Every structure is written in C-alpha cells, then in structure tokens.
C-alpha cells in the first residue's frame, strides 16, 4: 500500500456535511447534520443503532443521496451520482456488513470492479502480488487464491479492509471495522490507521467498542436520533462523556438475575470434541459442561479458542468427532437443526447477515420463519396467526421498525440483531445459545439484549452466550467459562475480575 505524503494542511477540513437531512417516508434518519472530516486525523462517530451513523456515511461515500443539505469536498459543493464517483474522488468506505463475494477468491474480491489489465487481459499474477503485500501489511497469512467462503469471519473482515486500503484513498470511512477482529488483529489495524493518518489520510471511524475507539480517535462526534448532540477533541472526552451524549445517562449491562430457583441440568456436554473447519485439528477438545434451567453461562475466549465451533456443534450445524450432547435427558447428536429447534434448543449465530437473516424477506417474514409450523396447516398458512406472532415479537424484543412489512435492510444493525434473537425466541425454546450476540450493536442495544436474556432466564430458560469482550462477561452471567485452545481453561462465578478472566484466556493483561 502506498500513498502520497500529505503533511501539508494536516488537520484542515477536507470533507463536510452541511445541514444534511435524509428521510425515508415518514422516518427522518438525519436532521440537519453538520459533520467535518479533517486531513490526517481520525474522526470517530458515536451513536446508538438507528442514530443515523451509517446513513450519514453512505451519503458521504455516494451510496445514497441526501434529501436536503450539501456535501462539500475541498471547498467545492458536490452531489455524488454513485459510490463509484465518490471513489474516483478519493473516498472509500468499509461497510459494517461485509460486501464480499463468498464464492470468489481473496484476490478477486480485493480487485473486484477495478481489475488490473495488461494487453487486454487480467493480470492475475500482479493482483495476487499486491493482495499478498496487503495481507503482509495487515499481518494476516491468507493465500490470495483462497475462496472467501473458506475464511472465518474475522479473516473476511480483514479482506474487506484490504480492499479499501488497496484504493489508496484520501478519505477512508470505517464502519465497525473491528467487530469480528481479535485483539491482536485490532492492534495491527490501529497501526495501519496511524500510518495512514501520518501520511495525511483522513479517517472516519465508527465503533460500538467505546473504550477501544477512545484509543484511536483524534476528534469525537455523537449522533442521537438523527441529530448531532456533541462534538469535541480527544483531550476533552472520556467514556462517561460518550455514554451521556449517546443515551442520556450512564448505562450498565445489568447483573445476574436473582430471586428464583434454578432447575436441573437442561443441557449437558460430555467429552465433546469438534474438528476445525478444515479438519486439520480439533477446534474443541474433550469439553464437558452443564447448563441448568434458568442459568446464564458466558463463554469467553480469544479468536480461535473454539467458542463458535462449540456452539455450532451443539446446535447441529456441525457434527462432533466424539462425546455427547444431552438435552433434557435426550442425546441430540443424530438430530437435525430443525429437530433440535422443535425440541427447544436454538442458536443465534455470530454472522447475522449470512446465517441469521434472509435479505429478500421482510422483518415479519424473518421473525416468523423459524415458527412457520405454528401457523401452517398442510398447504395453508394463517396470516392472522402469523401477524399476531410477528407483532408480539416486535413488541417483546423492542424492534424499532415501521412494522412487519418493512424491508429487513431498512433496520439498523442492532435492530437486525434483535430480529434474529426474536425469531429464535418465538419458537419458545428452553435453551438459547448466542454466539457474540452484541457484535456490531451499541451500548443501549446491548443493555436491551442482556435484559431480554435475564428475563428469559427468570422464566426458566437456560442461556449460553459467547463473547470476546471482557466487560460483557461481568454483566448478567451467573457463571463464566473461559476457553483456550479448544479447552475450558477456567470457570468463575460473578465475582471474578477482568484481570482474572484475561489471564485465564492467555490474553496479556496491561500493567
């Protein structure tokens, strides 16, 4: 990756939104927003899901047009006709939801739409060389010829980042770039960001990882309900400032629910071993774990610890190599995913776009999909019953939407995640597995999700959720299980410290 030196004018405004508004029918996503992007600086945009962050970034990158206001680039008022036009002007965006072609190679994804040609033919060797150089810069050992669908989610995120870096943009917008990255991958990305800003590249950074974002930002802006509520340089802000301006008060993620008796073991794993995706090693090895009815267990671990492989195996997405999965006394290993759901065992997957939602369906159709048997008789469905189920789910899970008929793509990331959770809860499960349920959602939405899980636990549902954020362990979990290299490294009660959890996972604890 190369970029011209642009130290001259460092800190000057290069791109601005002036009184920008955006309406979708009766919904006003943005309300007269003023937003500046400065050369050689990281401007971080904070806000809850649905605050308008992604809408503003799509306007600045030419994906959509504003309903009112103007965009000013280098002092010139512009109206981008397309994202391609914005890219030609030096503006690139890494979207929150991955926009990769899974059946194509890493190389082809990086150069999609701007292939390197020589003599009228695509120069695949040069594309592979440049892709390999980008991967080395991001300290990721990924072969350019590897199909994207064979990569884990964090590696797919790296490919998305590499594609944006390959354009050598003057302005780079990063919408939740670290949501699927490990701690070491985040460190590498931050080094790349500092290298880019040192050369004069302007960065816009959006993240729900508040503490993480504070370490990289130069200037912070907060959006709330489509309007800008605060703006300040890094030296004037802290975590409380961000939360106060985002949600109006200090939020916590709750505490372990009490005041009820837990039941017997609802789910028992005995000596469970699960092969990795490529079958070269064991992702989970000889793991045993019990979950009681009404208990909330958090599984913490770094990337590669085996959390996802464990939950997907229990849910039926992959087969174990050995061991037993016992649900309410019944061995589940031979049952399909649908049969496990019918018994009351469900999974909320990590990747909501790929595995949790059908993009061509409405909000209501997504919500009712897993419960279709409840309102279908033979070849006929009861629209009235389905509508009642959808309305109840929207209300119970507090989804912000125009209604069940709204397009799923019209919802913010946090509300899409609530749809996935609501879909599974609508099946009336007795054990819920959630793989990184807070990925890409804001602190307010996290609190709502965890409150929802605490309420279900009080009703007797067993809950297991995985996370790579230590702070989320210290919320509603009665018990914290730390995984390391496919095994349980430690188990703690609710009185554990962050330092103890991190040490057990093998993560370096800052002095």
Domain CATH for 184: 3.40.50.300
Number of domains present in the structure of the chain = 3
For 406-454, write each residue's pLDDT tens digit. Answer: 888 888 777 888 888 888 888 889 999 999 888 767 677 778 888 889 9
Domain boundary among 407, 428, 449: 428
Distance CA 35, CA 37 (A): 7
Is residue 261 domain-resident?
A: yes
- Same-domain check for residues 421 and 436: no
168: left (phi over 0), alpha (psi -120 to 50) or beta: left
pLDDT of residue 373 exceeding 50, the answer is yes
- Same-domain check for residues 370 and 324: no
The pLDDT value recorded for residue 503 is: 83
Q: For residue 506, what is the enclosing H or E element?
A: none
- Same-domain check for residues 434 and 420: no
Is residue 168 domain-resident?
A: yes
Is residue 4 domain-resident?
A: no
What's the pLDDT band for 463 if we cut at 50, 70, 90? very high
Q: Hey, what are 292's tokens?
A: 């009681």
Is residue 351 domain-resident?
A: no
Distance CA 418, CA 400 (A): 9
What's the pLDDT band for 380 if we cut at 50, 70, 90? low
What's the pLDDT band for 37 if we cut at 50, 70, 90? very high
pLDDT of residue 196 exceeding 90, the answer is no
Q: Hey, what are 219's tokens?
A: 């200037």
Instruction: Give the domain extent around 397.
Output: 359-428
- Same-domain check for residues 393 and 327: no
- Same-domain check for residues 78 and 208: yes
Domain boundary among 402, 428, 454: 428
Distance CA 249, CA 255 (A): 18
Q: Pick the residue with more confidence: 482 or 412? A: 482
Per the confidence metrics, is the pTM higher than 0.75?
no
Domain boundary among 400, 428, 456: 428
The pLDDT value recorded for residue 114 is: 84
Distance CA 32, CA 28 (A): 10
Distance CA 248, CA 226 (A): 15
State the DSSP code for 236: G
The pLDDT value recorded for residue 95 is: 76
Is residue 45 domain-resident?
A: yes
- Same-domain check for residues 410 and 395: yes
pLDDT of residue 363 exceeding 50, the answer is yes
- Same-domain check for residues 384 and 465: no
- DSSP conformation letters of 335-391: S-HHHHHHHTEEEE-S-IIIII--TTSBHHHHHHGGGGGGGEETTEE-HHHHHHHHH
For 68-115, write each residue's pLDDT tens digit. Answer: 999 999 889 988 888 888 888 889 888 766 778 889 999 999 998 888
Distance CA 17, CA 493 (A): 49
For 224-253, write each residue's pLDDT tens digit. Answer: 888 998 999 999 998 888 878 876 655 567
Is residue 149 domain-resident?
A: yes
What's the pLDDT band for 204 if we cut at 50, 70, 90? very high
Distance CA 130, CA 148 (A): 17
Closest among 123, 109, 214, 88 to 158, alpha carbons compared? 109
- Same-domain check for residues 149 and 46: yes
- Same-domain check for residues 334 and 439: yes
- Looking at beta carbons, which pairs linking 26-34 to residues 24 or more positions away fall under 8 Å? 27/402, 28/226, 29/55, 29/226, 30/55, 30/56, 30/59, 30/66, 30/226, 30/227, 31/225, 31/226, 31/227, 32/68, 32/69, 32/227, 33/69, 33/223, 33/226, 33/227, 33/228, 34/228
Q: Which of 154-168, 260-274, 284-298, 324-338 has the lowest mean pLDDT?
A: 154-168
Q: Hey, what are 309's tokens?
A: 């492989």
pLDDT of residue 129 exceeding 80, the answer is yes
For 424-435, write each residue's pLDDT tens digit. Answer: 888 889 999 999
- Same-domain check for residues 383 and 336: no
Closest among 511, 508, 442 to 183, alpha carbons compared? 508
Radius of gyration of the chain (CA): 23
Q: What is the chain's mean pLDDT, rounded?
A: 85
- Same-domain check for residues 415 and 458: no
Distance CA 439, CA 324 (A): 29
- Same-domain check for residues 168 and 284: no
What's the pLDDT band for 6 if we cut at 50, 70, 90? very low
């Amino acid at each position: 990756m190369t970029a011209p030196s642009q130290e001259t004018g460092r800190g000057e405004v290069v791109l601005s939104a002036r009184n920008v508004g955006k309406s979708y029918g009766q919904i006003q996503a943005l309300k007269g927003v003023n937003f500046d992007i400065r050369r050689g600086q990281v401007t971080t945009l904070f806000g809850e899901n649905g605050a308008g962050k992604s809408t503003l970034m799509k306007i600045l990158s030419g994906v959509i047009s504003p309903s009112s206001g103007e965009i000013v680039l280098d002092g010139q008022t512009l109206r981008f006709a397309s994202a391609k036009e914005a890219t030609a002007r030096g503006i690139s965006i890494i979207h929150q939801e991955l926009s990769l072609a899974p059946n194509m190679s890493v190389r082809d994804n990086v150069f999609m739409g701007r292939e390197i040609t020589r003599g009228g033919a695509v120069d695949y060797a040069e594309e592979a060389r440049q892709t390999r150089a980008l991967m080395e810069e991001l300290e990721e050992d990924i072969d350019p010829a590897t199909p994207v669908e064979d990569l884990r989610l964090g590696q797919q995120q790296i490919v998305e980042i590499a594609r944006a870096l390959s354009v050598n943009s003057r302005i780079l917008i990063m919408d939740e770039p670290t949501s699927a990255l490990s701690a070491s991958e985040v460190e590498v990305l931050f080094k790349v960001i500092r290298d880019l800003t040192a050369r004069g590249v302007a960065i816009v950074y959006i993240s729900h990882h508040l503490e993480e974002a504070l370490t990289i930002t130069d200037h912070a802006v907060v959006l709330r309900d489509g309007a800008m509520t605060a703006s300040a340089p890094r030296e004037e802000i802290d975590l409380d400032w961000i939360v106060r301006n985002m949600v109006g008060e200090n939020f916590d993620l709750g505490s372990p629910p009490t005041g009820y008796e837990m039941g017997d073991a609802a789910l028992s794993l005995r000596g469970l071993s699960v092969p990795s995706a490529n079958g070269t090693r064991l992702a989970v090895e000889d793991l045993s774990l019990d979950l009681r009815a009404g208990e909330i267990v958090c599984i913490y671990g770094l990337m590669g610890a085996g959390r996802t492989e464990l939950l997907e195996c229990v849910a039926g997405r992959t087969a174990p190599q050995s061991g037993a999965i016992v649900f309410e006394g019944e061995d589940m290993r031979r049952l399909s995913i649908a049969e496990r759901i019918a018994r009351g065992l469900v999974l909320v997957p990590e990747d909501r776009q790929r595995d949790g939602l059908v993009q061509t369906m409405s909000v209501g159709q997504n919500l009712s999909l897993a419960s279709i048997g409840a309102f279908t008789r033979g070849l006929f469905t009861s629209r009235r019953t389905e509508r009642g189920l959808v309305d109840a789910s929207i209300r119970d899970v507090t989804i912000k939407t125009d209604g069940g008929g709204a397009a799923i793509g019209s919802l913010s990331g946090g509300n899409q995640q609530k749809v996935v959770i609501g879909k599974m809860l609508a099946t009336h499960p007795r054990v819920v597995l959630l793989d990184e349920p807070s990925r890409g959602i804001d602190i307010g939405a996290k609190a709502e999700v965890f409150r929802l899980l605490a309420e279900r636990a009080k009703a007797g549902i067993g809950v297991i959720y995985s996370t790579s954020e230590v702070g989320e362990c210290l919320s509603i979990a009665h018990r914290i299980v730390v995984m390391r290299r496919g095994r349980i490294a430690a188990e703690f009660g609710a009185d554990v410290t962050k330092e103890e959890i991190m040490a057990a996972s093998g993560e370096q604890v800052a002095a």
